[in-house]
Amino acid sequence: MSIDAIDRKIIAATASGLPLVPHPFAEVASWIGLQENEVIARMTRMQDVGIIRRIAVAPNHYALGMVANGMSVWDVDDSDAERLGARVGALECVSHCYLRPRSLPQWPYNLFAMIHGQTRDEVERKRAGIADLLGSSCRGSDVLYSTRILKKTGMRLSEGG
């Protein structure tokens, strides 16, 4: 999958957000010297191939009352990790679920599941539910609460490439 210099310009122009005007793609086009239809065609292509996942809002979980966010981590038997990961990922309370390598000896966990809730109690209840689901295939777990967002800009592209 490749993007050329013009795609790159479009991505860079919209990296901090889409302009809030009735015809935002015309506005973006005017910034970088293109026609609106070219911007629309290129962004549509990038969305079709998955480079752009979607154009949407990123809600601020905290502002919306989801103030407890715990990264639950699990040491799951490798032979069972894919099957169980799929089940954990399907839970409604889990926003992201990934299988990742362990970093032994400090980090024995291979399954990561983000749990959001209004309180830590709620997150702990949901975590207990995941523990039940994993059963004896899980050798250990932890939960890491975020205490501060230090940066949140999303992916940035260099314009030059």
Partner 1 sequence: MKRAPLPPGSLDNTDCRVLNALQDRLPIDHSPFAEVAGPLGLTVDELIARIARLRELGAITRFGPFLDAAAMGGAFCLCAISVPEARFDEVMTLVNAHPEVAHNYERQHHLNMWFVLACEKPEGIARVAKRIEAETGLHVHLFPKLKEFFIGFRVTA
| Residues between 86 and 125 with contacts to partner 1, criterion CB under 8 A | 86, 88-90, 94-101, 103, 106-107, 112, 114, 116
Question: Is residue 5 near partner 1 by the rule CB under 8 A?
Answer: no
Judged by CB under 8 A, which of 51, 122, 129, 133 binds partner 1? 51
Question: Is residue 83 near partner 1 by the rule CB under 8 A?
Answer: no
- Considering beta carbons, is residue 9 or 14 the nearer one to partner 1? 14
* H or E stretch covering 94: strand 94-99
Question: Is residue 140 near partner 1 by the rule CB under 8 A?
Answer: no
Contact by Cβ (8 Å): 114, 69: yes
- Least separation in angstroms between residue 147's CB and partner 1 is 5
112 closest CA partner among 125, 123, 126, 102: 102
CA distance 12 to 89: 32
- If you ran DSSP here, which 8-state letter would residue 70 be given? E
